[in-house]
Amino acid sequence: MIEKLEPDLDFKRRIIGLDARDLSYCYQCGTCSAVCPVSSEENPFPRKEMIWVQWGLKERALSNSSIWLCHQCGTCSAYCPRDAKPANVMAALRDYSITHYATPRFFGVALSHPKYLPLLFALPVAILLAILAGLGNLGGLPEGRIVFAKLFPDFYVEALFDIAVGLAVLGALAGGARYWSAMRGARADGGGSFWTALAQVIREILDHGQFKRCIDEPVGSRPTHQTHLYKTHLAVFYGFLGLVATTASVGVGIHFFDYLTPWPLWHPVKILGNVSGTALVVGLAVFFWHRIGEQARAGKSTYADWLFLIILALAVFTGFACESLRLADLAALAYPTYFVHLTLVFFLLVYLPYSKFGHLVYRTTAMLYARSQLNARGLVADASDLAK
C-alpha cells in the first residue's frame, strides 16, 4: 500500500510549541526505541513518532497506540545521542491528541489555552451561584454548627455531580471511540476479544505493571525519571481511587441509610478519605518537586501538565481545608472554601476527558487496543507484560 504523504507543517509547529523543539535534532538512529523499557519488537517506539512529527504526518502520529503506551520514564531522552528528547515529543503528542480527539471539540481547545481558563471556571461558579440563589442562600452564611449541607443540600450536590460525571463519561466514551477507530483505520488487522483485553488491562492498571517495568527492566545506568514514577503515580492513583470511593460511600450513606454528614473522624470511610487524601497530597508533592527541580530528566512541562497538577492539588488542598476549617469552627472561611472546593471538583470531573486527566481515557484505550491486537496474534499469555 502506497500512501501519498501530505506534510502538515502546522501540526509540526504545534508539537514543537508544546515544548518539543529539540525534535528536529533526531536523525533516526533508533536508540530511543532500543532502550525503551515498554516498547516492543512488534511495535517499537518512539523512533517512528519522531520522524512522523518531523514530517508533519499528523494522522500517522495520532492514530497509533504507542504515544499512550509510553509511560514517560524518560529513558529515551537520557540515551538520545542527539539530545532530541523523544520523551518530550511523546508527551507533546499526548497533549495534542487529547485536544484532537476531544468531543465536543471546543472543550479540547479550551483546556489547552490559558485564555479560556476564566471561562472554564465561570461555568461551575455560575451553576453553583445559581443553585445558591435558587435556594436563597446567597444572602449570608448559614448559622450554627458548620454543616456544609446547610449551604448546598446533599441532593443538589449529588444531582449536580451525577450530571457532571455523566457528561464526563459521555465525553470520555466519545473521545476514546474516536481514538479507537483512528487506530483501527491505520492498522486494518482485527483484534482479539475486547473483554479479555479489558480484564487484562484493568489488572495491568491496578498493579501499575508498566510503570514497574521501567524499574524492573532498567536499560542502563543513566539517571532517568523511572525510579520515582512507579511509587508516586501509585500513591496518586490509589489516593484518587480512595477519594472516589469515599465520595461514593458518603452518597450511599446519605441516600440509603440517612446517615447525614459530617461523619465523625473515626468512621472507617472518613479514615479512608483522609488517608487517600494524604497519599494524594504526598504523591502530588513529589510530582511538583520533579517537575520543578528535575526538568531535564522529567521533561519540560506544558500548560496542560501544570493545569492538571495544580487543579488536582488545589482540589485536594481545599478538601482538607474544608475539613480543618469545619473542625476549627471557622464558618466565615469554611463555607467559601467549600464553594471553591466544589468548583474545583466540578472542574476536575466535567473537564476530565479534555484535560490531562483524559490520560485515563486514552491510555486505557491504547492499552486495550494494543492488548487486543496482541491477543489476536496469540503473542502473550501473561497479562503482566502488555508490551511484549
Partner 1 sequence: MANKKVGAYICSGCSIAGAVDVEQLAALGAEAGCLVRKSPAFCLEDSRLIRDDVAEGAVEAVVVAACSPRVNTDVFRIPGATVERVNLREQVAWSHPAGHPETQELALDYLRMGIMRAQRVARPQPYTQANTRAVLVIGGGIAGISAALNAARCGFRVVVVEKQEELGGWANRLYRQFPKRFPYRGLPPITVVEQVRELRALPNVAIHCGSSVESIEGEPGRFKVTLRTAQGTVEDTVGAIIAATGWQPVATEKYERYGLGVYPNVTTSVALEEMAKRGVVARPSDGGPARRVLFLLCDGRGDDAHLPYGGNVSSLVALKQALYVRELNPEALAYLFYGDIQTPGQYEYFYHAVQADPGVLLSQGQVERISETHDHSLAVELSGTTLGPGTALEVDLVVLASGMAPNTATSDGALALRYLQGQELPVTKFGFADSNFICFPYETRRTGIYSAGAARQAMDLAAAARDGRAAALKAMQSIEKSSAGQAVHPRVGDMSYPGFFMQKCTSCGRCTQECPFGALELNEKRNPVLNPNRCRRCGICMGACPVQIISFADYSVDILSAMIKSVEIPEADGEKPRILALACENDAYPALDMAGINRLEYPASIRVLPVRCIGSVNSVLVTDAVSRGFDGVALLGCKSGEDYQCHFIHGSELLEKRMANMRETLGRLMLEPERVQVVEVAIADYAQLPSVLNKLADAINEVGPNPMKGF
Residues that bind partner 1 (CB under 8 A): 1-5, 7, 9, 12-13, 16, 24-28, 47-48, 51-52, 54-57, 60
Residue-wise burial string across 268-297, b where 16 or more C-beta atoms lie within 10 A, e elsewhere: ebbeebbebbebbbebbebbeebbeeeeeb
CB of 120 to partner 1, least distance (A): 31
CB of 30 to partner 1, least distance (A): 8
Nearer CB in complex with partner 1: 6/216: 6
CB of 24 to partner 1, least distance (A): 4
Nearer CB in complex with partner 1: 4/115: 4
Q: Which three cell numbers stand for residue 118?
A: 476564566
Strands (E), 188-233: none
CB of 4 to partner 1, least distance (A): 5
CB of 109 to partner 1, least distance (A): 22
Q: Tell me how far apart the alpha carbons of residues 61 and 292 are, in angstroms, rounded to a whole number.
A: 29
Nearer CB in complex with partner 1: 186/265: 186
Contacts of 44 (CB under 8 A, 6+ apart): 30, 33, 34, 36
Nearer CB in complex with partner 1: 51/245: 51
254: three-class secondary structure by DSSP:
helix
Nearer CB in complex with partner 1: 13/255: 13
Q: Evaluate the CA torsion angle 28, 31, 32, 37 in order and state its sign.
A: positive
CB of 225 to partner 1, least distance (A): 25
206: three-class secondary structure by DSSP:
helix
Q: Give Cα separations from 319 to 56, 180, 265, 269 (angstroms).
A: 43, 36, 14, 15
Q: Tell me how far apart the alpha carbons of residues 315 and 206 are, in angstroms, rounded to a whole number.
A: 23
- The answer to whether the bond into 218 is cis (omega within 30° of 0) is no
DSSP assignment letter at 349: H
Nearer CB in complex with partner 1: 54/355: 54
Nearer CB in complex with partner 1: 10/207: 10
CB of 382 to partner 1, least distance (A): 30
